[in-house]
């Protein structure tokens, strides 16, 4: 969507705060033995406290309130009785709707994992997100985001997942622009506009370039079981710099 007035901004800030707070609650609840279903229930309860609705459940009928992907699963993992163990790489993808406004955020964490490669992967993906967001300015091409993300990944010896992308959001979970790629696509001519609401996300991989269906109709994985670190923020594009909606307010 494109911002029309101050009411839109405040409504987006509100739903952005809800998903950011929910993500933080889930992160702080991770411990050995907790199930992904129990983590999802934490999100469900926090959404209900605000009167918000899970966006993937409302829009797509997803069988969970959030997407929780562990290790071999890299995106759209279904909450289940799977227990978190030390060493797990956990992705939390949280999106919700309130009063017709949407926000989307994501975070990957290595739970008591001392792998230097995994730490480097997560650090790289977070830097790539910051550098990608820095390109979101009115009049600039969308493909500069992907260029910044891909460059950061390659400088650190990593790849990016090409069939998972950022997207427009705000008035719907997914809307125009349909794709904000994690790599440089020279054919993409679309540009950012003042007031545009988008979700920029990184999918930085230790090897694979593409995500594949894991067989349940939702969960995505990689053929070579590459590790993937995803991070995501929803934001409003402005000439003064992006307004990040899903950043935790201190």
Alpha helix locations (H) across the chain? 6-29, 36-50, 55-60, 116-133, 143-155
Confidence of residue 236 (pLDDT cuts 50, 70, 90): very high
Q: With 90 as the cut, is the pLDDT of residue 159 above it?
A: yes
The distance from CA 30 to its chain's CA centroid, rounded to whole angstroms, is: 18
Residue 248: what pLDDT?
78
pLDDT computed for residue 249 by the predictor: 62
Characterise 195 by phi-psi region: left (phi > 0), alpha (psi -120 to 50), beta (else). Answer: left
Mean pLDDT of 149-162: 98
Contacts of 130 (CB under 8 A, 6+ apart): none
pLDDT value, residue 26: 98
State the Cα–Cα distance between residues 61 and 120, nearest whole angstrom.
Answer: 35
pLDDT at residue number 216: 95
The H or E element spanning position 27 is helix 6-29
Determine the Cα–Cα distance for residues 200 and 106; give it in Å rounded to an integer.
10
The answer to whether the beta carbons of residues 35 and 83 sit under 8 Å apart is yes
Measured over the CA atoms of residue 127, residue 234, residue 69 and residue 28, the dihedral's sign is positive
Q: Which residues pair with 234 in a beta bridge?
A: 199
- Give the full edge-to-edge strand order of the sheet including 212-213: 73-75, 220-221, 212-213
Strands 212-213, 159-160: pairing is: unpaired
Structure-block tokens of residue 28: 């702080």
- Dihedral angle of Cα 34, 165, 148, 71, to the nearest 10 degrees: 30
Q: How far apart are alpha carbons 172 and 56 in whole angstroms?
A: 11
Q: What is the pLDDT of residue 135?
A: 98
Mean pLDDT of 100-113: 97
The mean of the pLDDT values for the chain is: 97
Beta strands in 57-149 (DSSP E): 67-70, 73-75, 89-98, 101-110
CB 211 within 8 A of CB 74: yes
Q: Decide if 102 contacts 55 (C-beta within 8 A).
A: yes
Q: Which domains does the chain have, with CATH numbers?
A: 6-244 (3.90.230.10)
């Amino acid at each position: 969507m494109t911002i029309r007035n101050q009411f839109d901004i405040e409504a987006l800030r509100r739903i952005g705060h809800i998903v950011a707070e929910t993500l933080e609650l889930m992160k702080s609840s991770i411990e050995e033995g907790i199930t992904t279903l129990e983590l999802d229930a934490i999100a469900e309860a926090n959404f209900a406290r605000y009167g918000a609705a899970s966006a993937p459940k409302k829009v797509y009928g997803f069988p969970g309130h959030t997407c929780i992907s562990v290790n071999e699963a890299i995106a759209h993992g279904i909450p289940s009785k799977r227990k978190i163990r030390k060493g797990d790489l956990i992705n939390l993808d949280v999106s919700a709707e309130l009063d017709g406004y949407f926000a989307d955020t994501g975070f990957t964490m290595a739970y008591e994992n001392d792998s230097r490669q995994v730490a480097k992967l997560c650090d790289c993906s977070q830097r790539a997100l910051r550098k990608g967001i820095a390109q979101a300015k009115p009049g600039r091409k969308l493909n500069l985001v992907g260029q910044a993300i891909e460059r950061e990944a390659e400088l650190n010896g990593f790849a990016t997942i090409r069939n998972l992308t950022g997207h427009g959001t705000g008035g719907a979970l997914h809307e125009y622009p349909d794709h904000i790629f994690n790599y440089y696509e020279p054919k993409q001519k679309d540009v950012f506009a003042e007031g545009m609401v988008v979700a920029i996300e990184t999918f930085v991989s230790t090897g694979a370039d593409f995500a594949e269906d894991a067989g349940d109709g939702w969960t995505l994985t990689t053929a070579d079981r590459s590790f993937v670190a995803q991070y995501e923020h929803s934001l409003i594009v402005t000439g003064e710099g992006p307004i990040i909606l899903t950043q935790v307010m201190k």
